[in-house]
Amino acid sequence: MSILVTGSAGFIGYHTAKRLIKSNKEVIGLDNFSSYYDKSLKESRWKILEKSPNFNGIKSDISNLKNIKDIFLKFKPKKVIHMAAQAGVRDGYKYPQMYTQSNLVGMINILDCCKAADVNQLIYASSSAVYGNSEKLPYSENDHIGLPLSLYAATKQSNEAMAYSFSSLYSIPITALRLFTVYGPWGRPDMAIYNFTSSILNEKEILLYDKGRMKRDFTFINDTVEGIIKSINPNPKTQELSPPYNVFNIGAGKPIEIINLIKILEQELNKKAILKFKDSHFGEMKSTWSDITKIKNETSYTPKTSLEEGIKIFVSWFKDYYQI
């Protein structure tokens, strides 16, 4: 049985595909190699996946319906792990069409193809950003989500509405994963830990909003992938739901202020950060904090990597990758 992993040259998609290959699964990898960040990083990830005979990589765009239909017809995947998306909370207002094409048109194309191919499960990446302006912490899947604070968040909320309707109309088992600030080796350069590490080592100024008091629930990539894998059916709970639609938070459940994150990085790098403080950036959530009770109870998911340990692993990879 083949599994389609979209966004497999991206950070989370790459690690997910790699884990599936290690489990001797046949993986169809799909990515458009967008220029949102350094393509060489994506190409390096892709080359690692291509070393396995269980990986079949295809360069295409999920917003191109004809191409996606052809891929489904040719490979007939029975499970789809949809990680492809235009990421980044802060850039949505600059490039709204780009976010719309990837996150809305791309999502509806995946849903439509899953329906036509009669897949037995779709798992897709939602985001902690869907909780928006909700003030109830920690965030639980059982709570009403707030209004979106960014275009990115709006597209992810829309994804959840679209996916629920397809599950309801066509009885497609679908699982939404609300991912909380993922970090680790092979990460995205625009994300905090990657960006801060690079800035500290290169003695560049770090811009901190709200005096560094914003909190994020940083989740190590291995723990995130473990949650994704554990979300794959058979999951009797999901199958019994009507419609067969489920939602899980995947996080560490341990938020930390950004200013304290900087201190951990300084200690690990043995170097002080150059900080500049600014008022809050519009579109940013003040805090993210995952309640992971549900996924623990239904799948036995348990995050294992502390932030200190995860940063140590990331810094080691970073120095090796950039030959520092």
- The active-site residue out of 99, 124, 152, 301 is 152
Q: What distances in angstroms separate CA 10 from CA 160, 175, 270, one per listed residue? A: 21, 20, 30
| CA–CA dist 36, 32 (Å, integer) | 11
Q: What angle do CA 290, 294, 300 make, to 5 degrees?
A: 105
* Amino acid symbol at 170: Y
The phi, psi pair for 5, rounded to 5°, reads: -120, 110
Does a cis peptide bond (omega within 30 degrees of 0) precede residue 77? no
* Amino acid symbol at 217: D
155 within 8 A of 104, measured Cβ to Cβ: yes
Helix (H), strand (E) at residue 218 = none
Q: Count Cβ atoms within 10 A of the Cβ of residue 7 and give its class: 0-12 exposed, 13-18 middle, 19 or more buried.
A: buried
* Amino acid symbol at 294: K
| Four-point Cα dihedral 168, 3, 129, 244, nearest 10 | 20
DSSP code per residue over 100-144: IIIIIIHHHHHHHHHHHHT-SEEEEEEEGGGGTT---SSB-TTSP
The phi, psi pair for 103, rounded to 5°, reads: -85, -25
Of 322, 72, 100, the C-alpha closest to 197 is 322
> Catalytic residue at 301?
no
List residues with catalytic annotation: 152
